[in-house]
Amino acid sequence: MAGSGIKAQVATAVASISSYLNPYTVPTGYYGVYNISFTNTNATSVTIRLFIGASTTGAQNAQECFEYQTTVAGYGVFERTGVVVQAGQNFIVSASATGVNVIIYGIETSTS
């Protein structure tokens, strides 16, 4: 999915901070500059986690932690912008409630 634009759109379907989703993996032969947005569609606050690294599911490695136990206010948005990620790395997300939408968008450039 090289190029620019939206790379992934997911909504949390399990109300568990330890239930991880892998919405996107940077393609082989590319690096990218990404923005990651968490939108809380609930009236109450939620807790989110974001990992970027080689792991895809389950317990994440501490060194892959990008955001940990971050609170997003009810109907609020949390966003990280300009995150440079190398080929083969995974974006791993979780939230303490259902109804948290995660969008990853950006631009990818070939390394060859």
> Could you tell me which residues come within 8 angstroms of residue 110 by beta carbon, excluding any fewer than 6 positions away?
2, 29, 30
Q: b vs e for 29-65, b when ≥16 Cβ sit within 10 Å of the residue's Cβ?
A: ebbbebbbebbbebeeebbbbbbbbebeeeebeeeee
pTM: 0.93
Where do the structural domains in the chain lie, given as residue ranges?
4-110
Question: What is the end-to-end Cα distance of the chain in Å, rounded?
Answer: 16
Whole-number pLDDT of residue 55: 85
Q: Which one-letter amino acid corresponds to residue 34?
A: Y
- Tell me the pLDDT of the chain (112 aa) as tens digits: 578 999 999 999 989 998 999 999 999 999 999 999 999 999 999 999 999 998 886 567 888 999 999 999 999 999 999 999 999 999 999 999 999 999 999 999 999 8
Q: CATH fold of 4-110, please?
A: Jelly Rolls (2.60.120)
